């Protein structure tokens, strides 16, 4: 379920980031305003990176649940056979 939610969050972020990136590329490559265009492209990239790496307070229970499930569901370590 978390995969679907993460995909929806990424799509929402891209709705905001892609127009800024396209406008930045237009300014940098077509209109010759390199500094402002690259600033917009950097803003768009930063928006996606921050959204992907930022942990919100609402994400903490999900992270804790993943950690608990990983701890409880560990496979037992294989023990050497003593049949020798």
pLDDT tens for residues 68-81?
Answer: 776 665 666 666 66
Low-confidence ranges of the chain (pLDDT < 50): none
CB neighbour list of residue 63: distance below 8 Å, 6 or more residues apart: 55
Q: Residue 57: its pLDDT value, please?
A: 73
Closest by CA to 42, choosing from 57, 32, 27, is 27
Alpha helices by DSSP H, listed for the chain, are 2-25, 34-53, 60-72
The pLDDT assigned to 29 comes to 94
pLDDT at residue 48 in the model: 92
With beta carbons less than 8 A apart as the criterion, state whether 24 and 37 touch.
yes
Could you tell me the pTM of the whole model?
A: 0.63
């Amino acid at each position: 379920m978390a995969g679907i939610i993460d995909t929806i969050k990424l799509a929402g972020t891209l709705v905001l980031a892609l127009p800024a990136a396209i406008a930045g590329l237009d300014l940098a490559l077509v209109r010759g305003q390199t500094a402002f265009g690259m600033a917009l492209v950097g803003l768009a990239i930063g928006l996606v990176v921050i959204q992907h790496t930022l942990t919100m307070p609402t994400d903490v229970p999900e992270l804790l649940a993943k950690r608990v499930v990983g701890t409880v569901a560990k496979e037992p370590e294989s023990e050497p056979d003593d049949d020798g």
